[in-house]
């Protein structure tokens, strides 16, 4: 039997018997309310599948303990301002122009990633991705074990990225996803910010860590509020928010996460309420297709990517009383039918995907497997669980997401 099938059965058997556990003094908004507490109780009960996930998680977290902290100052080329602390990235789908001697301006090839854009010598996007993964992994390990070695390592990373004047990132992303020969930064680069918001959200795990020095948490919170205001009110952020496809959905998810983290619940509610018409009604067809994502060269990937943002918004909506899980337009557009549409193309064996997907997805584990797990419980659809149970060997964090998604 596949590991996740065992995990599904295991959680289902004990979920009703989970004992209450202390709630965190600060909230992490990446999971449904109460899910982390119930998962911790499941581990305390000695559930074998849950303990196996915990073992994998702590093994992954231990790998970070000897690594030096990540910082934007590690790149070799500064931004146009000359400040090495500015975040810089290159648009991933832009390549040298074969029709010009100097290759400028770069031209777009949708879905084809230029390796140059991932070169850490002059681009920070690989670092913020690593930052988000590191903070979440250390945060979960700290939450489930209480071991201060994870707290100390995470606080060190927070200090370097958000607090220390010599190494902290300047709280803006003016130079994100630039295009050589055309622009030093574009509104589409706000997509990179989702990793910053995830890393900041993970600081909630460490509010009681002994590693915090006097004033450091307050300094980090000042950075968070400054960056949030820039994302919310800056021209690049506003332009990204007007994007109709996954860019707009992920921008909304960032803003809501930031708003909840810094205590601006009214902003979070405003964006969540808007998402009903601006995202769900606009993006999802009556048959569950997402046409704005189907137009892309990696349409199966983008259909899942946009759904991840929609489900993230639905999770955060639970914290402020905005129900996106069950929201339906008058003609029936909703998150559930978008999942329904994708299900046959994620099953094993898979139904052939009828749209363009230049990066093969035949053998890969679906990106929305944890979301399918949540949906199977929320919508009482056993078919989601049946598909999810056919997969194994997820990355460690996805295993945790799958486990916590059972509540």
How far is CA 331 from its chain centroid? 30
The region that residue 103 occupies, defined by phi over 0 for left and psi between -120 and 50 for alpha, beta otherwise, is: left
**β-bridge partners, 94:** 108
CA–CA gap between residue 192 and residue 379 (Å, rounded): 31
Range list of β-strands (E), 200-242: none
CA–CA gap between residue 237 and residue 194 (Å, rounded): 12
Interhelix angle 246-261/216-233, rounded to 10 degrees, is 140
CA–CA gap between residue 88 and residue 177 (Å, rounded): 7
CB-based contact 107:116 (threshold 8 Å): no
CA distances to 99, 101, 104, 296 from 107, in Å: 10, 14, 8, 16
CATH of span 67-242: 1.50.10.100
CA–CA gap between residue 120 and residue 165 (Å, rounded): 21
Measured over all CA atoms, what is the biggest interatomic distance in the chain, rounded to whole angstroms? 69
List the pLDDT tens digit at each of the 407 positions of the chain. Answer: 455 555 555 454 333 333 333 333 479 999 999 999 999 999 999 999 999 999 999 999 999 999 999 999 999 999 999 999 999 999 999 999 999 999 999 999 999 999 999 999 989 999 999 999 999 999 999 999 999 999 999 999 999 999 999 999 999 999 999 999 999 999 999 999 999 999 999 999 999 999 999 899 999 999 999 999 999 999 999 999 999 999 999 999 999 999 999 999 999 999 999 999 999 999 999 999 999 999 999 999 999 999 999 999 999 999 999 999 999 999 999 999 999 999 999 999 999 999 999 988 655 788 899 999 999 999 999 898 888 888 887 889 999 999 999 88
Please name the residue that has the structure tokens 């002994």. Answer: 210
CB-based contact 27:260 (threshold 8 Å): yes
CA–CA gap between residue 143 and residue 150 (Å, rounded): 9
SS3 percent helix, strand, coil of the chain, rounded to 5, is 55, 5, 40
φ, ψ of residue 69 to 5 degrees: the values are -65, 150
CA–CA gap between residue 375 and residue 334 (Å, rounded): 12
pTM: 0.93
Quote the DSSP letter at residue 109.
Answer: -
Number of Cα atoms under 13 Å in the Cβ half of residue 186: 16
């Amino acid at each position: 039997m596949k590991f996740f099938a065992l995990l599904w059965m295991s959680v289902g058997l004990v979920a009703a018997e989970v004992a209450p556990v202390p709630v965190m003094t600060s909230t992490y908004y990446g999971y449904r309310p109460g899910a982390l507490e119930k998962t911790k109780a499941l581990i305390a009960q000695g559930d074998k599948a849950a303990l196996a996930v915990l073992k994998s998680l702590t093994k992954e977290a231990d790998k970070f303990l000897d690594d030096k902290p990540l910082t934007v100052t590690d790149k070799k080329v500064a931004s146009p301002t000359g400040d090495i602390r500015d975040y810089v990235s290159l648009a991933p789908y832009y390549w040298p122009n074969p029709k010009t001697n100097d290759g400028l301006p770069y031209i777009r090839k949708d879905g084809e990633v230029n390796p140059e854009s991932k070169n850490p010598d002059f681009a920070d996007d690989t670092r913020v991705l690593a930052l988000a993964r590191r903070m979440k992994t250390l945060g979960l390990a700290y939450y489930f074990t209480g071991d201060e070695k994870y707290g100390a390592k995470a606080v060190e990373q927070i200090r370097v990225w958000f607090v220390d004047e010599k190494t902290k990132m300047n709280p803006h992303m003016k130079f994100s996803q630039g295009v050589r020969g055309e622009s030093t930064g574009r509104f589409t680069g706000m997509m990179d910010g989702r990793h910053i918001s995830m890393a900041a959200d993970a600081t909630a795990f460490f509010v009681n860590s002994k590693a915090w020095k006097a004033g450091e948490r307050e300094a980090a919170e000042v950075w968070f509020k400054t960056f949030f205001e820039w994302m919310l009110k800056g021209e690049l952020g506003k332009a990204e928010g007007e994007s109709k496809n996954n860019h707009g959905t992920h921008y909304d998810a960032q803003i809501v996460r930031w708003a909840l983290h810094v205590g601006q619940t009214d902003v979070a509610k405003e964006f969540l309420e808007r998402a009903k018409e601006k995202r769900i009604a606009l993006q999802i067809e009556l048959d569950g297709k997402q046409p704005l994502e189907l137009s892309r060269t990696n349409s199966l990937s983008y259909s899942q990517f946009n759904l991840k943002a929609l489900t993230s918004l639905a999770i955060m909506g639970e914290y402020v009383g905005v129900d996106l899980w069950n929201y339906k337009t008058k003609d029936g557009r909703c998150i559930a039918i978008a999942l329904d549409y994708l299900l046959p193309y994620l099953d094993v064996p898979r139904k052939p995907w009828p749209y363009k997907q230049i990066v093969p997805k035949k053998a890969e584990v679906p990106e929305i497997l944890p979301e399918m797990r949540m949906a199977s419980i929320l919508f009482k659809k056993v078919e989601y669980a049946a598909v999810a149970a056919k997969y194994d060997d997820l990355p460690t964090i996805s295993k945790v997401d799958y486990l916590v998604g059972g509540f």
